Structure 1
Amino acid sequence: MKHLLVTIFLFTGVCTSKLSAQEVPAPLQEVAIDDLGEVSDAFQEFFFEALKQKAIENYEKAIDALRECEKIQPNNPVVFFELGKNYKSLNDFENAINNFQKANRLQPNREWILQALMESYYLNKQYEQAILVNKELVSYNEKYYDDLAKMYFELQQFDKLIALLDQLDVELGVTEYRNSLRQQIYALTNNTSAQIKTLEESITLNPENEMNYLNLIYVYSDEGLEKEAFETAQKMQQLFPTSKVVHLALYKFYLNNNRTDEALTSMRLVLESEEIDVALKFKVLNDFLLFVNENPKFDKDLKQVAELFSEKENSPEIFQKFGEYFLQKKEKTQALAFFEMGIGSNVDNYELLKNTLLLQLDLLKYEDASRLSSSGLEIFPAQALLYLIKGAALNNLKKYNEAQEILTFGLDYLIDDVDMERDFYEQLSVAYTGLGNSSKASEFKEKANSIKKTEN
């Protein structure tokens, strides 16, 4: 039985780093716990009963079993940790906190225990206590700073929050989340003039902190002070000639003033930057997409920057998002161009594959549809739709024998889809017509018509 509780602890899961989040299993390498020694068979029986009851959400019964464990081993931190988790699942945060505190006293300096304690304090709206625990947790992982920011926001301690956001932007780089939080603070406090003054004073005192310039640019922009915002951006660029962050502001000014070449340069610098997060980069791309919507002559440029983003962030999904955007606008040629760019490195994305093939058929690109559906069938050999699309493409290429074979084969994978069944029959009728087999063509045409009559 030696090491039993170590094994149990590894597989019972710990709290996540996000406040209010549900419990999820933690990676094994994140957990380390001392050998807890021998345990009795009775302890083992009650403990596994507790785990079983918790798994089926019978938290009260799990607590009863853990109390029996406590009687056998009254100073076992794992028992109190499990009690805390069950009470937390019952939204009994007072008891959850009490048990996590006991676990922490018995087994101090364990990240997962502190994390669970912080979350319980937060859920119980004891923000000050949660902040105290958080300050211990940030030594384990910088991710806990986001929790600290959220708690400062809940307490409306906006001065502390702004200072924290500025610190994190400098240390960790700019993120969309922190920018959004900062803008919410400005809106809530409705004190933009004071914010501008504070930022201007900060620049005077610390002219080498580029985040102060960027934040001032955002405030000016939100207030419609475009001239002041642009002048600040230009000054920032002069002071920090190698900065990529300044281009988050510059590209928008250039776009708004039809200085497209300069906008493209700024966007490329943003997309290449390691210090700017993906969400902000996607916002840059989206702004350019809207610009291209009004100025279609820049389509090629949009594709180039989208390719740069995809390559830099290893995110071919960007092409799917752009394709869906144009598809909603019924601009099918544009949509297909982006879908095809995405599917080249993402052929195992079935939704993207389907959209690409259907548009290829719609736009009469039968050779492309035939090739792509063949590639798709290698990955998704049981998808009836891919057989149907390949058969339709082959029919339009007048390759009737191949079409008849693939359509007949694909029918075996069709399950409870009357509309697709009708389409299979119609395409088989076309294939047999092309092969000169009029009786078979009529047979499948009649099958398709009978389904239409049923639907009507």
Structure 2
Amino acid sequence: MKKKLRNWILALLFAPAALLAQTEPEDIAMNQNEFQDAFYESLKQKGIENYDKAILSLEKCQKLEPNNATVIFELGKNYLALKDYKKAYESFEKATQIDPNNKWFWVGMYDVCYETRDWEQAIVIVNKLIQFKREYKEDLVSLYMNTQQFDKALALINELNESVGKSDMRDNYKMQILRDTKYQGAEKDNLLAAIKKNPKDEASYIALIYLYSESNQEDKAVEIAKQLEREIPTSDFAQVSLFKEHLNQADGAKAAKAMNTALASGKIDQKIKHRMLNEFLIFVKDKPQFEPDLDNAIGYFKDDKQVPVAKEIGKFYHSKKNWDKAAKYYEMHLAGASDDVEGTLLLFDVYTQKQQFDGMAKKAETMIELYPLQPQFYYYAGLAYNQQKNFKKAKDLLEMGLDYLVNDTALEINFNVQLGEAYNGLGDAKKKEAYFTKADKLLNKK
């Protein structure tokens, strides 16, 4: 069995007859046996990770056949296993010089470049490997990214997208490159050419609209969206241009329909969806008949972790002093984010403006349990209990909260005013005056 295996290895990897043509038959047989024994021993030692011993056996083989590329390649693999990268690379390189048509010899050189992070040399090797297997172009994209040759990477990404289709990895690389505006111009030209070549390719329109939107070229984005609408009327992205057109014509019903179609699409970028919602919000602020459409639109953003849409709409109405709508949208937001400190404080401010103290005291106490060091919640609880004439409860909470107050003069003034109100309700005129006087002094210092 061992003899058959040796003969199989030799027949598969070597052709020694030509090399030994000038040698006596007895010497040929002896050299063949010695070579086979040494080579088989090297494979055995490499298999059990005795790389030093494997190298010694291969050196015996090399003395017998100095230009045997497979022996030199095996030496490279053992040197690589020992992390002797210089000798490994030299061995693989020498093997390619003897037999440049063996892909695996070039792969050995690439492995060394990869281990040593020599990306520049790896590019040279991979360009050679592409001649054997075009799939190595994927490696070349990554190497161009590692060496910051973004122009070459972008050109190759576009070529591969065209020839073999898109991939997540290449899409991520492309997004990284296009964050730099100096590459966006070339990409816009590339996409315009792609649209001209294939007007029914929705992806090119979408990518171009995204680029124009990112660079604040909204007019051009709308222009491309209109072109998309003409070429592919069923496209979700066409709804973006239709939406703007309907708003310009003050047709809220059609604008809402187009917006909701776009918001439900998984193809449209989230930033564009946010812009659409903001534009619709401004349009409907004095048109209560469209408020149900606005509420429906907010539902599309319920899983958005970056922008709490309902809270932002609440802030919009808050700034307009539309307390009812501000409260509505803050409450909508807090239904799914009850521990949001900022959102809760904004809601309490609106409740105060509306003189809506029923329930605010209990809500404030609930927040105190979650955030016992947050003085604002003690203030709003005390304010609410004062309004409900529960002065003892108000006093206790306000005095507790005052202990946590640091470097906030405006809030300190409010605390003192509410403590004055609480003691007034409790019939303690002396303390009432003391707190009101302190509030006046702080106010005069501002």
TM-score, normalized by length of structure 1? 0.57
Amino acid at match of 1:449: D
Could you tell me which of 220, 237, 247 is aligned with 1:255? 247
> Is the 1:429–1:441 contact (alpha carbons within 8 Å) kept by the matching residues of 2?
yes
1:274 aligned partner: 266
Q: Does 1:145 align with 2:153?
A: no
Provide the C-alpha distance between the structure 1 equivalents of 2:334 and 2:248, rounded to a whole number of angstroms. 32
Could you tell me which of 95, 101, 116 is aligned with 2:120? 101
Could you tell me which of 389, 403, 413 is aligned with 2:404? 413
> Is the 2:157–2:174 contact (alpha carbons within 8 Å) kept by the matching residues of 1?
no
2:277 aligned partner: 285
Amino acid at match of 1:145: K
**Cα distance, 1:449–1:255 mapped onto 2, change above 3 Å:** closer
**Cα distance, 1:183–1:296 mapped onto 2, change above 3 Å:** closer
Provide the C-alpha distance between the structure 2 equivalents of 1:186 and 1:358, rounded to a whole number of angstroms. 39
> Is the 1:175–1:280 contact (alpha carbons within 8 Å) kept by the matching residues of 2?
no
Deviations 1:354-387 (A, max 9, x none): 2222122122121243243233323322111111
Amino acid at match of 1:399: N
> Is the 2:405–2:412 contact (alpha carbons within 8 Å) kept by the matching residues of 1?
yes
> Is the 1:369–1:393 contact (alpha carbons within 8 Å) kept by the matching residues of 2?
yes
Which gives a bigger RCO, structure 1 or 2 (Cα 8 Å, sep 6+)? 1
Provide the C-alpha distance between the structure 2 equivalents of 1:358 and 1:434, rounded to a whole number of angstroms. 23
Larger radius of gyration: 2
**Cα distance, 1:104–1:136 mapped onto 2, change above 3 Å:** farther
> Is the 2:382–2:397 contact (alpha carbons within 8 Å) kept by the matching residues of 1?
yes
> Is the 2:364–2:377 contact (alpha carbons within 8 Å) kept by the matching residues of 1?
yes
> Is the 2:284–2:291 contact (alpha carbons within 8 Å) kept by the matching residues of 1?
no
Q: Which shows bigger deviation, 333-342 or 425-434? A: 333-342
> Is the 2:144–2:152 contact (alpha carbons within 8 Å) kept by the matching residues of 1?
no
1:449, distance to aligned residue in structure 2 (A): 3.2
Amino acid at match of 2:191: L
Q: Which shows bigger deviation, 167-176 or 374-383? A: 167-176
Q: CA RMSD for the aligned pairs?
A: 4.3
Deviations 1:331-375 (A, max 9, x none): 444333322222221233322222222122122121243243233
1:131, distance to aligned residue in structure 2 (A): 4.0
Provide the C-alpha distance between the structure 2 equivalents of 1:336 and 1:303, rounded to a whole number of angstroms. 15
1:334 aligned partner: 325
Number of positions where the alignment pairs a residue of Structure 1 with one of Structure 2: 323
Stretches of structure 1 that go unaligned for 5 or more consecutive residues are: 1-35, 41-74, 82-98, 188-210, 220-228
1:407, distance to aligned residue in structure 2 (A): 1.0
2:350 aligned partner: 359
Amino acid at match of 2:152: E
1:198 aligned partner: none
**Cα distance, 1:281–1:266 mapped onto 2, change above 3 Å:** same
1:103, distance to aligned residue in structure 2 (A): 6.9
Provide the C-alpha distance between the structure 2 equivalents of 1:330 and 1:322, rounded to a whole number of angstroms. 13
1:402 aligned partner: 393
3-state SS of paired residue (1:270): helix
Provide the C-alpha distance between the structure 1 equivalents of 2:215 and 2:415, rounded to a whole number of angstroms. 56
Q: Does 1:218 align with 2:226?
A: yes
Q: Does 1:160 align with 2:151?
A: no
Deviations 1:151-178 (A, max 9, x none): 8845636442335688985399668633
3-state SS of paired residue (2:186): coil
Amino acid at match of 1:162: L
Provide the C-alpha distance between the structure 1 equivalents of 2:141 and 2:398, rounded to a whole number of angstroms. 60
Provide the C-alpha distance between the structure 1 equivalents of 2:260 and 2:280, rounded to a whole number of angstroms. 11
TM-score, normalized by length of structure 2? 0.58
**Cα distance, 1:121–1:272 mapped onto 2, change above 3 Å:** closer
1:377 aligned partner: 368
2:257 aligned partner: 265
Amino acid at match of 1:156: A
Provide the C-alpha distance between the structure 1 equivalents of 2:216 and 2:377, rounded to a whole number of angstroms. 47
1:405, distance to aligned residue in structure 2 (A): 1.5
Could you tell me which of 307, 310, 322 is aligned with 2:313? 322
Provide the C-alpha distance between the structure 1 equivalents of 2:83 and 2:365, rounded to a whole number of angstroms. 59
1:179, distance to aligned residue in structure 2 (A): 4.5
**Cα distance, 1:314–1:452 mapped onto 2, change above 3 Å:** closer
Stretches of structure 2 that go unaligned for 5 or more consecutive residues are: 1-79, 85-111, 130-135
1:320, distance to aligned residue in structure 2 (A): 2.1
After TM superposition, the structure 1 = structure 2 runs for residues 68-107 of structure 1, keeping only pairs within 5 Å, are 81=117, 99-102=118-121
Provide the C-alpha distance between the structure 2 equivalents of 1:113 and 1:399, rounded to a whole number of angstroms. 74
> Is the 1:332–1:359 contact (alpha carbons within 8 Å) kept by the matching residues of 2?
yes
Amino acid at match of 2:287: P
**Cα distance, 1:304–1:130 mapped onto 2, change above 3 Å:** closer
After TM superposition, the structure 1 = structure 2 runs for residues 29-48 of structure 1, keeping only pairs within 5 Å, are none
2:152 aligned partner: 128
Amino acid at match of 1:376: M
Provide the C-alpha distance between the structure 2 equivalents of 1:248 and 1:410, rounded to a whole number of angstroms. 50
Amino acid at match of 1:170: A
> Is the 1:271–1:312 contact (alpha carbons within 8 Å) kept by the matching residues of 2?
no
Provide the C-alpha distance between the structure 1 equivalents of 2:170 and 2:442, rounded to a whole number of angstroms. 61
Provide the C-alpha distance between the structure 2 equivalents of 1:380 and 1:316, rounded to a whole number of angstroms. 23
> Is the 1:401–1:435 contact (alpha carbons within 8 Å) kept by the matching residues of 2?
yes
3-state SS of paired residue (1:439): helix
Provide the C-alpha distance between the structure 1 equivalents of 2:185 and 2:402, rounded to a whole number of angstroms. 62
Provide the C-alpha distance between the structure 1 equivalents of 2:385 and 2:335, rounded to a whole number of angstroms. 21
**Cα distance, 1:155–1:257 mapped onto 2, change above 3 Å:** closer
